């Protein structure tokens, strides 16, 4: 369960990027976060995984007050989430397999589990044959599938996706979107930020529309 109450976020101290934003997302729900560029979609996601602080309001994730977490314990929140970015954020000096393994090394999983889970995640996104290839030699769609495998490999209960299809062709975007729907069917809560109405129309999910830092429709 995610609850956001009257959150205000300002970057320069005067113009709020988020202006009293409130929303509730139930466990296992698939939600589109839409709105034009600069609406505040990315900021909402960054606040949810504790990358940005906020001036006012309250954010609860699984009952944890995100605003109260410090840099010492924020990792506990982040481990319950998987994040997928528009620019993939892959490590260029690591292979596909290593990129996915990395997410598990970071949380201290043992070698055997890492190997098994990485194989499973790569199989789910259809990238097992390309496990030893470096990201630079793969297409945008394939790179995004690595990022999705990395986000899902630790079996998080929440997956945050920030414009995951923003750099992809329409056909590939549909493939990627279906991967998120599959993760949702397995029980993960998905918050899918996008400005593309084509993607929104692909699924029958709740839409939270942001504009200039305010929720205009839900």
Residues that bind other proteins (CB under 8 A): 49, 51-53, 71-72, 75-76, 78-79, 83, 89, 91, 102-103, 105-108, 110-111, 150, 154
In angstroms, give the least distance from the CB of 56 to other proteins.
Answer: 17
In angstroms, give the least distance from the CB of 140 to other proteins.
Answer: 18
CB-wise, 17 or 215, nearer to other proteins?
17
CB-wise, 53 or 178, nearer to other proteins?
53
In angstroms, give the least distance from the CB of 88 to other proteins.
Answer: 10
CB-wise, 89 or 123, nearer to other proteins?
89
Q: Reduce the secondary structure of the chain to three states and give it as a string.
A: CEEEEEEEEECCCCCEEEEEEEEEECCCCEEEEECCCCCCHHHHHHHHCCCCCCCEEEEEECCEEHHHCCCCCHHHHHCCEEEECCCCCCCCCCCHHHHHHHHHHHCCCCHHHHHHHHHHHHHHCCCHHHCCCCHHHCCHHHHHHHHHHHHHCCCCCEEEEECCCCCCCHHHHHHHHHHHHHHHHCCCEEEEEECCHHHHHHCCCEEEEEECCEEEEC
CB-wise, 80 or 209, nearer to other proteins?
80
CB-wise, 49 or 180, nearer to other proteins?
49
In angstroms, give the least distance from the CB of 135 to other proteins.
Answer: 13
In angstroms, give the least distance from the CB of 204 to other proteins.
Answer: 30
């Amino acid at each position: 369960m995610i609850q956001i109450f009257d959150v205000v976020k300002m970057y320069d101290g005067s113009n709020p990027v988020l202006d009293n934003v409130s929303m509730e997302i139930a466990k296992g729900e698939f939600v589109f976060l839409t709105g034009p560029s600069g609406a505040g979609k990315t900021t909402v996601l960054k606040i949810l995984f504790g990358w940005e602080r906020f001036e006012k309001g309250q954010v609860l994730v699984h009952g944890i007050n995100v605003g109260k977490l410090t840099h010492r314990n924020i990792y506990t929140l982040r481990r319950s989430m998987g994040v997928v970015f528009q620019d993939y954020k892959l490590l260029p000096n690591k292979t596909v397999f290593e990129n996915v393994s990395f997410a598990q090394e970071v949380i201290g999983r043992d070698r055997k589990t890492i190997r098994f889970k990485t194989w499973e995640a790569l199989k789910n996104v259809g990238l097992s044959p390309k496990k030893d290839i470096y990201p630079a030699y793969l297409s945008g769609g394939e790179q995004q599938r690595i990022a999705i495998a990395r986000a899902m490999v630790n079996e998080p209960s929440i997956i945050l996706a920030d414009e995951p299809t923003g750099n992809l062709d329409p056909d590939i975007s549909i493939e990627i979107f279906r991967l998120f729907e599959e993760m949702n069917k397995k029980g993960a809560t998905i918050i899918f930020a996008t400005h593309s109405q084509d993607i929104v129309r692909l699924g029958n999910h709740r839409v939270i529309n942001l504009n200039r830092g305010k929720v205009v429709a839900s």
